[in-house]
Each structure stands twice: as structure tokens, then as C-alpha cells.
Amino acid sequence: MQGPPAKPALRFLADKYLKRKIQVAEHDSVVDARAALDLVKLKIAKGPAYGTISQHEEQGDRLMDVLHAHDRRCTLIDRTDMLNRHVTGQLLYAVLPVSHL
């Protein structure tokens, strides 16, 4: 899986969330459609945050907090929305937001 704006492949999503292998030998549009529908049903059942990056980040520490706790320093340069995923308010001195990346 690549970073934004790329989206994960249906094959990857079906394997990760449905524990189902698709598109292994040949491409079957009916199997793909069923997997897509099952993914939508799962998202509806689990709620809007299910499967998102922010859902997983809430379960663990943010990158800059971990580095700070171990007396390490780094600089992050990215879009503001991406920086907010990894940095808490008190450590904003360590980031450089840019408007076009």
C-alpha cells in the first residue's frame, strides 16, 4: 500500500478485513463485486472510523511522543492534515507544515 492519494487495492482490503483471497489466479468481476459489497456492509456495521488510519493511531502512541519520550529529535515536513496524525499540540515546534506537497 502506498501513501496518499493512492488507495489500497480491493485484493488487499478483502484479505485484511474479510480474511478472503480474491484476484489470485484470474480476475472475476462477480467475486470483486461481492467483496466490495461485503466491505461496505462491514464498514456500516462497525462505524465510520473502522479501517481508517486514525482508528489505529488512537490505539497507540503518536510518533513524536515516542521520540520525545526517548529524548530523540526529528523534523517532519508534510501537509498539516498528515502532521496532525503524528504530532500532539505541545510538540508542534518539531514540524514544518507546507501547503503543497
Domain ranges of the chain: 10-53, 61-97
Res 17: pLDDT:
92
Res 34: pLDDT:
95
Q: Look up residue 35 and give its amino acid.
A: A
Write down the pTM of the prediction.
0.51
**Predicted confidence (pLDDT) per residue in 27-58, tens digit:** 899 999 999 999 999 999 988 878 876 544 44
25/8 Cα distance (integer angstroms)? 19
Q: Phi/psi of residue 19, each to 5°?
A: 55, 45
